[in-house]
Amino acid sequence: MLKIEVSYRGIIVGVLVLVALFALVRLWPVVLLVVTAFIFMAALLPYVDWLVRRGVPRTVAVLLLLVVILAIIAGLFALVVPAMIEEFQSVRDNLPEDAKKLEELLSRIGIDVQLQDRARTINWTDLISGRAAINYGQRIFQTTLSILTIIVLTVYLLVETPRLSRFINQFVPAHREEEVRRIMASLERVVGGYIRGQVITSLAITIFTLIVLLIVGVKNPLAFAVLAGFADIIPIIGALIAVVPPTFSAFETSPTKALIVLGLLTAYQQFEDRFLVPRVYGSTLNLPPLIVLIAVLAGGELFGIPGILLALPAAAVGRVFFDYVLEHRVGGIGPVTTDEVLAPDEPESKTRTSSDA
């Protein structure tokens, strides 16, 4: 016989855990927005503090940084959107002719398909009107609302950071304040490193795509390069968004150029996934490349696209707490903070304190 005894306190804790898990599942979209806002807050906080140390009021510093970022993003969208509309119209008008070229190309390698007839039977009106238009409109509205929510939450967190810190410190014992402060500084640095790492990889693919398209002679090379930089943020389908449009544009000129663009951009995607991402994130998040790769694969398998987005910050947070455990077990090892690319310099006193062990 197996006899199990559970205290009333254990039962209450178990019930509370189940309730918390149920609430987490039901409120996952809201939790995702809040976590994303915290990630952006951690990435932008060093720049806000840098402006504040130079005499800029905190609210003004946050709004100034927000205006600059939104202006840059709006300018990039203004560059990309007209070019993509032009490319869509060109694909629609020239699709039968392009399909014929593709048929001839595939027939040379023994693949016989009837693409031209199918291209002529596509009803473009049905694709962009009716129920499809409603679905696209709903997705755009939901995405826009989510982005606005993240922006508002991020601004609030940046403005209220000192007040939130004081509120949290009320619940921290006096003899633990230094440890908590060091852990929070490390969390801020590694989570912010996730965003800065993404900026590095987006810049890299933008520059590479621009060089390839300029050499091959594809029209609107800058717009396609910027699109690739934005698409690099999106897990899984981002690679298709970065590769397919410039390949189609090159195919209108020459199938050979299209194959060159397709081959080079696909090769770069493999280089980024297997080499660049693990090393960039391994540096900014202070994680070994193998852990970075495993974290991304595990996050995607468990939670899909949100899991991929949150996998690296979660792994970095786990590394901070692992270092904290080592500090108390063997002594002399504190939360790790490293110099990061694109991160502003910190005051000397703060850097010295955070690096003490």
280-306 tens-digit pLDDT: 766 666 677 777 778 777 877 777 767
The answer to whether 284 and 197 have CB atoms below 8 angstroms apart is yes
Task: Examine residue 354 and state whether it is found in any structural domain, yes or no.
Answer: yes
User: Does residue 307 share a domain with residue 276?
Assistant: yes
Mean pLDDT of the 161-174 span = 80
Task: Examine residue 93 and state whether it is found in any structural domain, yes or no.
Answer: yes
- Among 114, 132, 164, the domain-final residue is 164
Structure tokens at 150: 């993240």
Give the model's pLDDT for residue 130: 57
User: Does residue 191 share a domain with residue 156?
Assistant: no
Give the model's pLDDT for residue 62: 92
Model pTM score: 0.69
Give the model's pLDDT for residue 248: 83
> Per-residue pLDDT for 347 more than 90?
no
Most confident of 254-263, 273-282, 316-325: 254-263
* CA gap 235, 195 in Å, rounded: 14
176 DSSP assignment? G
Per DSSP, the chain holds a count of helices (H) and strands (E) of 14, 0
How many CB atoms are closer than 10 A to CB 323? 18
Number of domains in the chain: 2
Task: Examine residue 96 and state whether it is found in any structural domain, yes or no.
Answer: yes
The answer to whether 280 and 291 have CB atoms below 8 angstroms apart is no
> Per-residue pLDDT for 74 more than 80?
yes
Task: Examine residue 12 and state whether it is found in any structural domain, yes or no.
Answer: no
> Per-residue pLDDT for 353 more than 50?
no
Query: Domain range spanning residue 332?
Result: 179-357
Instruction: For residue 26, give every residue at least 6 positions away whose Cβ sits within 8 Å of its Cβ, in sequence order, or none.
Output: none
Q: What percent of the chain has pLDDT over 90?
A: 12
> Per-residue pLDDT for 82 more than 50?
yes
User: Does residue 199 share a domain with residue 95?
Assistant: no
> Per-residue pLDDT for 111 more than 60?
yes
Mean pLDDT of the 205-227 span = 91
Mean pLDDT of the 166-191 span = 76
User: Does residue 195 share a domain with residue 121?
Assistant: no
Give the model's pLDDT for residue 339: 47
Give the model's pLDDT for residue 338: 45
Task: Examine residue 237 and state whether it is found in any structural domain, yes or no.
Answer: yes
User: Does residue 214 share a domain with residue 315?
Assistant: yes
Task: Examine residue 288 and state whether it is found in any structural domain, yes or no.
Answer: yes
Phi/psi for 296 (5° steps) reads -65, -45
User: Does residue 126 share a domain with residue 198?
Assistant: no
> Per-residue pLDDT for 308 more than 60?
yes
Give the model's pLDDT for residue 209: 92
Which of 179-188, 193-202, 224-233 has the least mean pLDDT?
179-188
Task: Examine residue 77 and state whether it is found in any structural domain, yes or no.
Answer: yes
Q: What is the DSSP string of 190-239?
A: HHHHHHHHHHHHHHHHHHHHHHHHHHHT-SSHHHHHHHHHHHTTSTTTHH
How many CB atoms are closer than 10 A to CB 245? 22
CA distance readout (Å), 130 to 88, 127, 133, 143, 255: 19, 8, 5, 20, 34
User: Does residue 353 share a domain with residue 256?
Assistant: yes
Q: What percent of the chain has pLDDT over 70?
A: 76
Sign, Cα dihedral of 270, 276, 277, 282: positive
The answer to whether 281 and 312 have CB atoms below 8 angstroms apart is yes
How many CB atoms are closer than 10 A to CB 217? 11
- Among 132, 164, 196, the domain-final residue is 164
Q: What is the pLDDT of residues 324-339, one digit of tens each?
A: 777 766 554 444 444 4
- Among 164, 188, 205, the domain-final residue is 164
Give the model's pLDDT for residue 336: 45
User: Does residue 268 share a domain with residue 228?
Assistant: yes
User: Does residue 192 share a domain with residue 150?
Assistant: no
User: Does residue 191 share a domain with residue 97?
Assistant: no
CA distance readout (Å), 268 to 178, 221, 231, 261, 284: 45, 17, 14, 11, 21
User: Does residue 118 share a domain with residue 190?
Assistant: no
Between 29 and 155, the more confident residue is 155
Give the model's pLDDT for residue 264: 93
Mean pLDDT of the 131-152 span = 79
Task: Examine residue 154 and state whether it is found in any structural domain, yes or no.
Answer: yes
Mean pLDDT of the 19-26 span = 84
User: Does residue 194 share a domain with residue 139?
Assistant: no
Which of 12-16, 56-60, 188-192 has the least mean pLDDT?
188-192
Which residue is it, tokens 């809201």? 30
Mean pLDDT of the chain: 77
